[in-house]
């Protein structure tokens, strides 16, 4: 019926099965079935984006800008200074709207908020020096940095408030962190720290979507990275006793405070 001399036959294995093997196989099966049934479908980077239509408030150009589909990206975590990390792409990389005709660039929430004197400043100081570029569908960190720097130069030219410039600088610092470039990261953190401090005393909240407690926390977190540990601890001590803090911010405050206290001791 079959060749008894073949020592590698499947039939040789039949008598070797033990109860332990069977138990183990059931467990393995259970695990693999579970992981199949609960695993979410992988979302591609392209699926997280769509083209949003914009009309440039300066030159009237109609153009499309890559925009995040909020429900598609998966939140991973917030770092100590609230830098959010997502999969499979970083929403922050796509938050600059850039007119490909006149070179006007801004964070998306501020794109339409421009005065006529700011329009003139852009026309005089940005447009003559601008030429459009073709960007791929998926932005890497270098493209994100280029677009944010365009927005930063625009905001300097149009004399934006400190908060807006600081917000762009904070994002640039985070992108340089993604690139493992601490020199540029620290430079932009220092700029963001200065700008947010100015904004804190002179601007109305929310500042670029940041409420007072969140901004104060970010100032402390950035400060701790640029050698202002005493200042940061003072801010955190003031913050921790405030009422109405959300749980996530409260736990970040405690976490950072503990780390800084250890450094000091």
Number of residues located near Zn ion, criterion CB under 5 A? 8
- 58 part of the interface to Zn ion, by CB under 5 A: yes
Beta carbon nearer to Zn ion, 105 or 191: 105
Beta carbon nearer to Zn ion, 117 or 265: 117
- 96 part of the interface to Zn ion, by CB under 5 A: no
- 127 part of the interface to Zn ion, by CB under 5 A: no
- 61 part of the interface to Zn ion, by CB under 5 A: yes
- 102 part of the interface to Zn ion, by CB under 5 A: yes
- 56 part of the interface to Zn ion, by CB under 5 A: yes
Choices 24-32, 45-53, 56-64, 143-151 (CB under 5 A): range interacting with Zn ion:
56-64
Minimum distance between the CB of residue 61 and Zn ion, rounded to whole angstroms? 5
How many residues does the structure list for the chain?
A: 265
**Residue 107 bridge partners (DSSP):** 96
Interatomic CA distance for residues 149 and 154, integer angstroms: 8
To the nearest 10 degrees (0 to 180), the angle between helices 162-178 and 212-225 is: 50
SS (H, E, C) 90-156: CHHHHCEEECCCCCCEEEHHHCCCCCHHHHHHHHHHCHHHCCCCCCCCCCCHHHHHHHHHHHHHHHH
Beta carbon nearer to Zn ion, 154 or 214: 154
Interatomic CA distance for residues 195 and 202, integer angstroms: 11
- 101 part of the interface to Zn ion, by CB under 5 A: yes
**Footprint of Zn ion on this chain (CB under 5 A)?**
56, 58-59, 61, 99, 101-102, 104
């Amino acid at each position: 019926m079959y060749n008894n001399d073949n020592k590698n036959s499947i039939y040789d294995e039949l008598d070797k099965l033990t109860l332990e093997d069977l138990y183990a196989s059931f467990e393995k099966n259970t695990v693999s079935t579970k992981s199949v049934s609960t695993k979410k479908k992988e979302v591609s980077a392209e699926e997280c984006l769509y083209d949003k239509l914009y009309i440039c408030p300066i030159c009237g150009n109609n153009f499309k800008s890559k925009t995040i589909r909020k429900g598609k990206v998966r939140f991973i975590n917030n770092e100590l200074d609230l830098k959010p990390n997502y999969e499979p792409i970083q929403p922050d990389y796509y938050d600059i709207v850039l007119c490909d005709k006149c070179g006007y660039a801004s964070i998306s929430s501020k794109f339409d908020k421009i005065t006529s004197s700011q329009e003139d400043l852009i026309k005089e100081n940005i447009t003559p020096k601008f030429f459009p570029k073709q960007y791929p569908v998926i932005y890497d960190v270098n493209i994100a940095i280029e677009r944010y720097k365009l927005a930063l130069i625009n905001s300097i030219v149009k004399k934006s408030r400190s908060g807006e410039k600081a917000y762009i600088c904070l994002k640039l610092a985070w992108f340089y962190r993604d690139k493992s470039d601490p020199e540029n990261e620290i430079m932009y953190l220092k700029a963001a720290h200065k700008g947010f401090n100015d904004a804190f005393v002179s601007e109305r909240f929310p500042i670029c979507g940041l409420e007072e407690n969140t901004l104060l926390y970010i100032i402390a977190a950035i400060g701790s990275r640029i050698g202002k540990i005493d200042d940061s601890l003072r801010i955190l001590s003031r913050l921790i006793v405030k009422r109405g803090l959300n749980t996530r911010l409260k736990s970040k405050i405690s976490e950072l405070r503990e780390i800084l206290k250890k450094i000091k001791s």
